[in-house]
Amino acid sequence: MEQTEVGSSSSGYDKSQVIDVRPLRCLVPWFPAPPLGYQTPPPFVYAPPFGPFPQGYSPFYPFFNPSEPQRTSEQNYPQNNQNNGTANQDGGSGFGYNNNVDNGASPSYYTPPPAPRYNAENGDTTRSRKSSSTRGDSVVVISESEEDGYSNSKKRTANYLSSMDILESGSSQRSRSRPKKIKPNPDLKFMVPANGDRETVNDLLLKFDALRRKLAQIEDAKEVTVGIKRADLKAGTLMFNYGLRTNAKKIVGIVPGVEIGDIYFFRMEMCLVGLHAPVMAGIDYMSLKIDQEDETLAVSIVSSGGYEDDAEYGDVLIYSGQGGAANKKEGKEASDQKLERGNLALERSLRRGNDVRVIRGMKDVGNVSARIYVYDGLYRLQESWTEKGKAGTNVFKYKLVRVPGQPEAFMLWKSIQLWRDNTVSRPGVILPDLTSGTEKVPVCLVNDVDAEKGPAHFTYVPTIKYSKPINSMQPSIGCNCRSSCAPGDPNCSCVIKNNGDLPYISNGVLVIRSPFVHECGPSCLCYPNCKNQVSQNGLKIKLEVFKTQGKGWGLRSWDPIRAGTFVCEYAGQVVELSRVDVDEDDEYIFNAARSFDKNFKWNYLPEILEEEKPTDPDEVSSSPLSLRISSKSFGNVARFINHSCSPNLFWQPVLYDHNDESCPHIVFYAIKHIPPMTELTFDYGPAPGSNGNSGRRECLCKSPKCRGFFG
């Protein structure tokens, strides 16, 4: 670069001379020498953003989708695809990198878009209702509050990545002053099928949510909040780092192992199972090689109802295009949408007639600021047009029609919304409230199968009835917390009894299974306003007792249920073991001595967080409880929970009003996310010492893992 200004100055050099300056992109950063005793890190390796990369090194790739303007045409359409219609993996993982390394392509590095704004109340990210709306792989700003949304602040990414640390594990009381970075253990590998089946998909989602709950518990225990609390994104990043994912290769149509009606509380879950790759974009598309030409086709869309022109009419969806939104903070005015990226992919899918997966974002009745994502099946584009939006600019509109013959999903949710407004509008209602006001949330009695008017008479009681006075049991030592117990408080006796942690995270979800969960009770000074009392406050989910096809009466929920959520307690009369007049064939006897399925693992994998794996692989005590509860004459909704060899509930002993471990409360929690109107079941388990066919009953669960009998 030559200076045009001629002349000397007091600085002592000639400004007319050419200055030898190298471009910044050619310089290797210089770092000061580390202090004594510091372990020298690996050498800094310089490489251009898009390679080539030295042998043994790979690019750093955040999980965010890339900003579209940073891609070149070659990056958008790699030339390494075969001419067989196979999708390339450009963004196929939804994590912003090209993973066609095995095919000889160089991995690509993209600068991640801004990270999410965290809502401290519900643990989800939200977007301002006053913001603009765009869709696609670029930075997204949506007009309605929506989970997994992202703000437009450029500082969010750095803040989020700097918050990707966890507290060191060890004793029950963790050190909060020495954060430990999340990083994969190279010696730990997991084998996950590339193309998942139903069992693989369910197992991955269980592992993800178990890890997310544990990370959320660790975040709750931090004295000082650093960065953004997003346990779901942290858990997803770890899962991807360890290769815990399936269906990574994008496909058109049905995703193996994913069923219509499946629900997701986090968009990261959809990424892990291959349903919808982008973490934040509403349109997912892929590139195909068709007739020697590159073609982009839409494979899935997320419709959250947060756009001004989106319309939902049963099996018809009017979907708005992406781009062109105004942004007052950046001084950007609204503009016409362009036929590019997701818009172009939808146009080409309209011409090609391929199926597009549709995921509906529904409001969470338990958290009005969050959304639940429901897979509604395959749709086909019928027509497209442009029209003037509220800002006066042209907006692309796409009409999608649901492929006929698929099970109901979205329409079932719409029906439940109508029932909430008018319970008697539910077909087959016998009683609007089976509990006669005993529970805070009414429980419907429904029969739309036959003419039976209800089960045999019983007295509804909300909790267990002990066979001996409670004051004769071992008293519970309450905590001295003046307000709600603080997670990780070493001075809280309830925290100590729970091995140094509170058993629930801030939204009341159980973190892990354990021999006993200790809730705060009447002997605690924090009672009754503590977060550590979940099961004792009665039903919170809208349940119904219904007549099944061939299994008598059953139980299900109108509400979607998140994994780890308290469902109900098993109420009834404690039966003394010394009694000889107990009818062992009584179908309303709960026997806590029945063992769990040893293959059932619900807790997180400690190896992923670099914690030592326990020597005892069992999550709960191997010694069974000597407790039997009869709900034949006195009981609650739990008496209607049927058996299944592939259950969606498990039971957990809970103590709060006494400390007698021989007579705990038996509480049911959700194993996994449960869609509305799904029958609630648990595994009755074999009786201790049972052999042969003695005392066994035929199982009618019809699950793939059905043992053919129970009891």
Report yes or no on 586 lying in a domain: yes
Indicate if 698 and 592 belong to the same structural domain. Answer: yes
Q: To 10 degrees, the CA torsion angle through 19, 23, 27, 29?
A: 100
Distance of alpha carbon 98 from alpha carbon 81, whole angstroms: 12
* Residue 470, pLDDT score: 80
* Residue 186, pLDDT score: 59
pLDDT bucket at 356, cuts 50 / 70 / 90: very high
Cα atoms in the 13 Å half-sphere on the side-chain side of 306: 32
User: Residue with structure tokens 């200004």?
Assistant: 5
Domain boundary among 356, 386, 421: 421
| Tens digit of each residue's pLDDT (9 = 90 or more) over 460-492 | 999 999 988 887 888 888 999 988 999 889 999
Can you read off the two tokens belonging to residue 276? Answer: 């919808």
Section 138-148 average pLDDT: 30
Q: What is the CATH number of the domain that holds 351?
A: 2.30.280.10
For residue 392, the one-letter residue type is G
Q: To 10 degrees, the CA torsion angle through 285, 145, 222, 508?
A: -100
Question: Quick one: 147 exposed, middle or buried, by C-beta within 10 A (0-12, 13-18, 19+)?
Answer: buried
Task: Please tell me what DSSP assigns to residue 653.
Answer: E
Spatial contact of 123 and 216, defined as CB atoms under 8 Å apart: yes
Can you read off the two tokens belonging to residue 543? Answer: 């349940």
Tell me how many domains the chain contains: 2
Indicate if 273 and 389 belong to the same structural domain. Answer: yes
* Residue 52, pLDDT score: 55
Cα distances (angstroms) measured from residue 214 to each of 52, 211, 225: 38, 5, 16
| Tens digit of each residue's pLDDT (9 = 90 or more) over 665-694 | 999 999 999 999 999 999 998 766 555 555
Distance of alpha carbon 157 from alpha carbon 334, whole angstroms: 25
Spatial contact of 270 and 276, defined as CB atoms under 8 Å apart: yes
Q: Bridge-partner residues for 244, per DSSP?
A: none
Report yes or no on 150 lying in a domain: no
Distance of alpha carbon 230 from alpha carbon 215, whole angstroms: 9
* Residue 127, pLDDT score: 35
Report yes or no on 59 lying in a domain: no
Distance of alpha carbon 296 from alpha carbon 349, whole angstroms: 8
Spatial contact of 15 and 6, defined as CB atoms under 8 Å apart: yes
Distance of alpha carbon 469 from alpha carbon 424, whole angstroms: 41
Q: Does the pLDDT at position 129 exceed 70? A: no
Spatial contact of 306 and 146, defined as CB atoms under 8 Å apart: yes
Indicate if 409 and 452 belong to the same structural domain. Answer: no
* Residue 334, pLDDT score: 85
Report yes or no on 507 lying in a domain: no
Of 15-29, 184-198, 378-392, the one with minimum mean pLDDT is 15-29
Indicate if 341 and 278 belong to the same structural domain. Answer: yes
3-state helix, strand, coil in the chain (%, to 5): 15, 20, 65
Spatial contact of 296 and 348, defined as CB atoms under 8 Å apart: yes
Q: Which residue has the higher pLDDT, 632 or 327?
A: 632
Indicate if 559 and 665 belong to the same structural domain. Answer: yes
- From the CA atom positions of the chain, what is the Rg in Å? 29
Spatial contact of 308 and 293, defined as CB atoms under 8 Å apart: no
Distance of alpha carbon 678 from alpha carbon 674, whole angstroms: 7
Report yes or no on 32 lying in a domain: no
Q: What angle do CA 645, 649, 655 make, to 5 degrees?
A: 130
Q: pTM for this one?
A: 0.76
**Average pLDDT value over all residues in the chain:** 76
Indicate if 555 and 589 belong to the same structural domain. Answer: yes
Among residues 281, 261, 278, which one has the least CA distance to residue 270? 278
Residue 182's Cα: distance from chain center in Å? Answer: 19
Residue 350, domain extent: 247-324+334-421
Indicate if 657 and 569 belong to the same structural domain. Answer: yes
β 394-402/316-320 pair status: antiparallel
* Residue 76, pLDDT score: 36
Among residues 470, 455, 467, which one has the least CA distance to residue 632? 455
Q: Does the pLDDT at position 219 exceed 80? A: yes
Query: Dihedrals φ, ψ of 296, to 5°?
Result: -100, 135
Of 4-8, 414-418, 534-538, 644-648, the one with minimum mean pLDDT is 4-8
Among residues 497, 480, 478, 485, which one has the least CA distance to residue 172? 497
pLDDT bucket at 331, cuts 50 / 70 / 90: confident
Of 49-63, 281-295, 644-658, the one with minimum mean pLDDT is 49-63
Cα distances (angstroms) measured from residue 248 to each of 34, 58, 198, 344: 41, 19, 15, 23
Query: What are the E-state strand segments in 417-552?
Result: 429-431, 444-446, 459-460, 464-465, 517-518, 543-547
End-to-end alpha-carbon separation of the chain, Å?
86
* Residue 619, pLDDT score: 77
Section 415-430 average pLDDT: 93
Residue by residue, DSSP assigns 65-94 as: PPPGGG--HHHHS-TT--TTSPPP-BTTTS
* Residue 593, pLDDT score: 85
pLDDT bucket at 612, cuts 50 / 70 / 90: confident
Domain boundary among 362, 397, 421: 421
Q: Which residue has the higher pLDDT, 103 or 344?
A: 344
Distance of alpha carbon 686 from alpha carbon 593, whole angstroms: 9
For residue 601, the one-letter residue type is K
Residue 304 CB neighbour total at 10 angstroms: 21
Indicate if 652 and 587 belong to the same structural domain. Answer: yes
Q: Does the pLDDT at position 297 exceed 50? A: yes
Can you read off the two tokens belonging to residue 688? Answer: 């201790």
Distance of alpha carbon 675 from alpha carbon 660, whole angstroms: 36
Indicate if 414 and 346 belong to the same structural domain. Answer: yes
Distance of alpha carbon 66 from alpha carbon 61, whole angstroms: 10
Q: Which residue has the higher pLDDT, 584 or 282?
A: 282
Indicate if 315 and 436 belong to the same structural domain. Answer: no
Report yes or no on 221 lying in a domain: no
Q: Going by C-beta distance under 8 Å and a sequence separation of 6 or more, which residues neighbour residue 331?
A: none
| Tens digit of each residue's pLDDT (9 = 90 or more) over 496-544 | 999 999 999 989 999 999 999 999 999 999 998 899 999 999 999 999 9
Indicate if 694 and 569 belong to the same structural domain. Answer: yes
Residue 652 CB neighbour total at 10 angstroms: 22
Spatial contact of 193 and 81, defined as CB atoms under 8 Å apart: no
Indicate if 413 and 437 belong to the same structural domain. Answer: no
Q: Which residue has the higher pLDDT, 309 or 134?
A: 309
Can you read off the two tokens belonging to residue 457? Answer: 């008479």
| Tens digit of each residue's pLDDT (9 = 90 or more) over 56-96 | 555 444 433 333 333 333 333 333 333 333 333 333 333 33
Most distant CA pair in the chain, distance: 113
Q: Does the pLDDT at position 116 exceed 80? A: no
Report yes or no on 352 lying in a domain: yes
Task: Please tell me what DSSP assigns to residue 90.
Answer: B
Q: Going by C-beta distance under 8 Å and a sequence separation of 6 or more, which residues neighbour residue 574?
A: 464, 465, 466, 467, 627, 628, 629, 663
Distance of alpha carbon 511 from alpha carbon 209, whole angstroms: 9
User: Residue with structure tokens 């914690």?
Assistant: 611
Report yes or no on 204 lying in a domain: no
Strand, coil or helix: what is 166? strand
Q: What is the CATH number of the domain that holds 647?
A: 2.170.270.10
Q: What angle do CA 158, 161, 166 make, to 5 degrees?
A: 140
Q: Bridge-partner residues for 545, per DSSP?
A: 445, 555
Q: Bridge-partner residues for 384, per DSSP?
A: 398
Cα distances (angstroms) measured from residue 689 to each of 645, 685, 694, 704: 19, 12, 10, 26
Q: Does the pLDDT at position 555 exceed 90? A: yes
pLDDT bucket at 707, cuts 50 / 70 / 90: confident
Spatial contact of 366 and 266, defined as CB atoms under 8 Å apart: no
* Residue 587, pLDDT score: 82
Spatial contact of 396 and 421, defined as CB atoms under 8 Å apart: no
